[in-house]
Structure 1
Amino acid sequence: MENHLTPNNQVVSTLTEVERASFYRKTYMHLAGAVLLFVLVETLFFQIPPVLNFALSLTGGYSWLIMLAAFMFITNYAERLALKSENTNIHYLGLVLYVIAEAFIFIPLIFIAVMVAEDGALTILNQAAIMTLSLFTGLSAIVFLTKKDFSFLKSILAVGFAIALGLIIAGTLFGFNLGLWFSVAMVVLASGSILYQTSNLVHNYRSNQHVAASLALFASLMLLFWYILSILSRD
């Protein structure tokens, strides 16, 4: 395979301008492919009543926590496959596994969006998609234009996600709604994650890790999409 192992597995920032451009192109092509696969798998899931009903049955109480824990486990496993394996096919397996997991966990949210949409489900989904891609593009441009290293965000994001997870667990266990401002805060956190992951793309990934880079960007993109869609789905 063409992207198996390049000489010395150089850090992208040390490559020539042409080599860096090639790495970025492959990464964003894989990101686009992941988004397309997500749309296809999500559409398929909604055409299979047992899958749809099973996902919807997991949205309450402890069931949601179990699904969230399973999603986090799959996320960690997929990232390990994409980052640590020397086998290109395993990299793709990690990416595909993660996309399928994202499509499954999105079923309840998209179902809610369909239910509350007054002028058609596609309208609210399109609005969320346009807002997400616009913000993602703007944040990515900041990194590429400034060449700033946003690695300092790592500890901030770790603390933020830990607090968010704690609030989600508490809200599920004690039955309180986290509300609009939590979703807004998560949009900010997801935006920070996009800055951080794009900065990693520019400064820290190695030349054979474009699949892993696309997975990380896809995860941040979908987190942003989740909370923008959550905000727009409020009735």
Structure 2
Amino acid sequence: MEHNVNTLDRSASSAIEVNKVLKNTYMLLGLTLAFSAFVAYLAAVMQLPHPGIIITLVGFYGLLFAIHKTQNSGAGIALVFLLTGFMGYTLGPIIGFVSANAPQVLMTALGGTGLTFFGLSAYVLITRKDMSFLAGTLMAGFWVLIVGMIANLIFNIPALSLAISGAFILFSSMIIMYQTSAIIHGGERNYVMATVTLFVSIYNIFVSLLSILMSFSGDD
């Protein structure tokens, strides 16, 4: 009898922890998305130049490393806003160009990104499916994307660029399902890292959709 009571207590405690991580993750995600969108808007209105690929990569991975080291402190949360604000800044010039030349494409990309995220998250949350089996596929997909991006830098083939954008959408969609599943099944207990993972996935889906739509619209 005592064993059953202890088991129930552990289950209740686990459920409370899961709900807490979910709540904090989506709250922080919502705030960072709003902050990133605001920074992107300012960068577009002020017509700020894109920082370039080198600064973008150094800034992104440098901040990502710093967040990983401070994920259990208030500094980690501050760095998350710094990272998402920086990523919003990198989007500013792109959004400014697209909104001026093809505003319908921008709205379609935003809508498609939102529907993709909410649809995938809702699916995992409702079905409670364990998506841990995606780990191997995600690792393989990561290296395929790396090779594809290097090849695209060398050969600059439009069809390859489109294929990479499509692969990024698929890869990021699986990341969203995997991360959401990790939270509800106890594999992720740090909402700071969960937020960063989901934000980067949403960012990649949006940029990739924008790239594909611009290519087909003839405004690329």
Q: Normalising to structure 1: TM-score of the pair?
A: 0.76
CA deviations over 1:133-169 (Å, ceiling 9, x no partner):
1111111122112222212212211221222122212
The corresponding residue for 1:140 is 121
Structure of larger gyration radius: 2
CA deviations over 1:42-85 (Å, ceiling 9, x no partner):
11222334xx2243xx3xxxxx3x245325523531441453xx
CA contact (8 A) 2:138 2:175 kept: yes
Structure 2 distance, partners of 1:79, 1:13, is 30
User: Which of the numbers 153, 158, 177 marks the counterpart of 1:195?
Assistant: 177
| Alpha-carbon shift at residue 217 of structure 1 (Å) | 1.2
Gaps of 5+ in 1: 1-11, 59-63
Question: CA 1:79–1:147 in structure 2 vs 1: closer, same or farther (change >3 Å)?
Answer: farther
| Alpha-carbon shift at residue 19 of structure 1 (Å) | 4.6
Structure 2 distance, partners of 1:186, 1:19, is 31
CA deviations over 1:104-125 (Å, ceiling 9, x no partner):
33235324423541xxx2x322
The corresponding residue for 2:26 is 28
Structure 2 distance, partners of 1:95, 1:13, is 31
User: Which of the numbers 113, 120, 134 marks the counterpart of 1:153?
Assistant: 134
CA deviations over 1:171-208 (Å, ceiling 9, x no partner):
123333324333222211111111111112212122xx
In terms of fraction of residues, the more helix-rich structure is 2
Q: What amino acid does structure 1 have at the position aligned with 2:207?
A: W
Q: Secondary structure at the match of 1:140?
A: helix
Structure 2 distance, partners of 1:14, 1:125, is 44
The corresponding residue for 2:95 is 110
User: Which of the numbers 59, 77, 80 marks the counterpart of 1:95?
Assistant: 80
Among all aligned residue pairs of Structure 1 and Structure 2, give the percentage whose two residues are the same amino acid. Answer: 28
The corresponding residue for 1:215 is 196
Question: CA 1:135–1:213 in structure 2 vs 1: closer, same or farther (change >3 Å)?
Answer: same
Structure 1 distance, partners of 2:148, 2:192, is 32
Structure 1 distance, partners of 2:170, 2:107, is 21
Residues paired across the two proteins, number: 205
Q: What amino acid does structure 1 have at the position aligned with 2:117?
A: F
Runs of 4+ residues over 4 Å off in structure 1: none
Does residue 233 in structure 1 map to residue 214 in structure 2?
yes
Question: CA 1:116–1:15 in structure 2 vs 1: closer, same or farther (change >3 Å)?
Answer: farther
User: Which of the numbers 127, 145, 160 marks the counterpart of 1:164?
Assistant: 145
Question: CA 1:76–1:192 in structure 2 vs 1: closer, same or farther (change >3 Å)?
Answer: same
CA contact (8 A) 2:80 2:196 kept: yes
Higher relative contact order (CA 8 A, sep 6+): 1
CA contact (8 A) 2:50 2:90 kept: no
Structure 1 distance, partners of 2:94, 2:172, is 17
CA RMSD, 1 decimal? 2.5
Q: What amino acid does structure 1 have at the position aligned with 2:64?
A: N
Structure 2 distance, partners of 1:54, 1:232, is 21
